[in-house]
Amino acid sequence: MTVEELLRQVRARGATFQVVEESRLKVRASSPLPIGIMEELRQHKTAILALLADESPPNALADVNQGETAKLLAWAAHAAETGMTLLKPVHFLETPLRPYTTADVGRYCRDQLSCLAMARSNKVTGGWGKYTSEWWNEMETQSIQALTALKATIDETDIRVDESP
């Protein structure tokens, strides 16, 4: 598997990458990544850091990730608008170590989209008080990870949905 494929696979699981220092890489995911994938990330750390640092073409990886995020948000907006409910509740990790169970996908998506909108708005304005731009950035990341985990769980299980309100 190439490093690009590894990054795509890990991002499809809702993980984000952050280069902390020149030689440190932070990986955040909505649920623990499989041991095999973590081993591959460790083995290819240098190549991953180089790929993330490579700016030619500018923000190519960010554009791919933004496209995936746009698709996720479109799915969440549709679920919220239609009041999507599941015939059986699903269980997923909303954030690492925080399990969540719901059948009311529409309500859950509305709540996460509301949090995401507030986070993006406050990031632009610099936040307020103890709620800094960095804090709002974390809230944005958590909302996207939560929606990613929910969608992945629904996609992995063969659950029929009722899209009527």
Q: Which two tokens stand for residue 31?
A: 């649920």
Q: What is the pLDDT of residue 55?
A: 35
Cα angle for residues 105, 108, 111 (degrees, 5° grid): 150
Q: What is the pLDDT of residue 59?
A: 40
Pairing of strands 98-102, 90-95: antiparallel
Q: What is the pLDDT of residue 146?
A: 93
Q: Where are the beta strands (DSSP E) in the chain?
A: 16-21, 24-28, 85-86, 90-95, 98-102, 161-162
Q: What is the pLDDT of residues 116-133, one digit of tens each?
A: 988 888 776 666 667 777
Q: What is the pLDDT of residues 64-74, one digit of tens each?
A: 467 788 899 99
User: pTM value?
Assistant: 0.59
Residue 27 pLDDT exceeds 50: yes
Residue 88 pLDDT exceeds 80: yes
Sign of CA dihedral 152, 158, 164, 165: negative
CA 12/CA 4 separation, integer angstroms? 12
**Could you tell me which residue, 125 or 145, shows the higher pLDDT?**
145
